[in-house]
């Protein structure tokens, strides 16, 4: 399996940012199935900033490994901003990492609904004790939705870490 060139560039840039900040990262992945971690570990030297990641495809795994509350899953569902916020925070704590990304979505071709159509992906970003979330709607087949999710997560991490750098140096 190869990492697309654009994804490799993003993973390299993110790795350089993490090294400069002397920070570690973890991932908590559902619909991407470890794709973000795979992209990061495709870069030589990534063990300096990535110790472990979590593939939590089932709700049970989200609860057991990331401390996602059953009430959150029942009220909001696995594909929700509330769930990815808990996933990101739980992953950061479990991995003792300063940075975490969590992803949960509906890659398709089935599983969508009127409220959460195929291509709906929720992201949680935990950086230095603070968590932000966002929801995206991607288009294409299962493979395309997953790849867009991986690239978006890497892009957002770069953006958030860059913003965090500027806010702490001003």
Domain count, the chain: 1
- Please report whether residue 169 resides in a domain: no
- Please report whether residue 125 resides in a domain: yes
How much is the CA Rg of the chain, to the nearest whole Å?
15
Cα gap 87→100, rounded to integer Å? 9
Tens digits of residue pLDDT in 129-156: 999 999 999 999 999 999 999 999 999 9
* Cβ pair 25, 99 in contact under 8 A: yes
Tens digits of residue pLDDT in 108-128: 999 999 999 999 999 999 999
- Please report whether residue 170 resides in a domain: no
What is the pLDDT at residue 169?
46
More confident residue, 152 or 165: 152
Residue numbers of the domain that contains 15: 5-163
pLDDT for residue 166 is more than 70: no
What does the DSSP assignment read for 109-122?
A: SS---SSS-TTEEE
Provide the token pair at 74.
């029942």
Degrees, nearest 5: CA angle 135-157-10:
110
Find the Cα–Cα–Cα–Cα dihedral 36, 13, 158, 82, rounded to 10°: 10
pLDDT for residue 168 is more than 60: no
What is the pLDDT at residue 124?
98
pLDDT band at 1 (very low <50, low <70, confident <90, very high): confident
More confident residue, 170 or 105: 105
pLDDT for residue 170 is more than 50: no
CATH number of the domain within which 75 lies: 3.90.950.20
- Please report whether residue 100 resides in a domain: yes
Q: Is 148 helix (H, G, I), strand (E, B) or coil?
A: helix
Cα gap 116→33, rounded to integer Å? 19
- Please report whether residue 117 resides in a domain: yes
Provide the token pair at 20.
């400069």
- Please report whether residue 19 resides in a domain: yes
- Please report whether residue 102 resides in a domain: yes
Cα gap 40→9, rounded to integer Å? 10
Question: Residues of the chain with pLDDT > 90: what percent?
Answer: 95
What is the pLDDT at residue 167?
61
Tens digits of residue pLDDT in 39-85: 999 999 999 999 999 999 999 999 999 999 999 999 999 999 999 99
Host H or E run for residue 127: strand 120-127
- Please report whether residue 111 resides in a domain: yes
């Amino acid at each position: 399996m190869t990492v697309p060139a654009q994804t490799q560039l993003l993973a390299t840039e993110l790795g350089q940012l993490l090294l400069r900040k002397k920070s570690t990262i973890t991932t908590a992945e559902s619909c991407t199935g470890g794709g973000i971690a795979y992209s990061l570990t495709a870069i030589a030297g990534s063990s300096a900033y990535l110790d472990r990641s979590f593939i939590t495809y089932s709700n049970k795994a989200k609860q057991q490994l990331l401390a996602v509350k059953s009430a959150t899953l029942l009220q909001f569902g696995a594909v929700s901003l509330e769930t990815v916020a808990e996933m990101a925070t739980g992953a950061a704590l479990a991995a003792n990492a300063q940075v975490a990304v969590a992803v949960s979505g509906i890659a398709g071709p089935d599983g969508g609904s009127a409220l959460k159509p195929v291509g709906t992906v929720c992201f949680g970003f935990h950086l230095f004790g603070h968590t932000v979330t966002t929801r995206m709607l991607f288009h294409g087949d299962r493979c395309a939705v997953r790849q867009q999710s991986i690239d978006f997560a890497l892009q957002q991490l770069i953006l958030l870490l860059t913003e965090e750098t500027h806010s702490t140096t001003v």
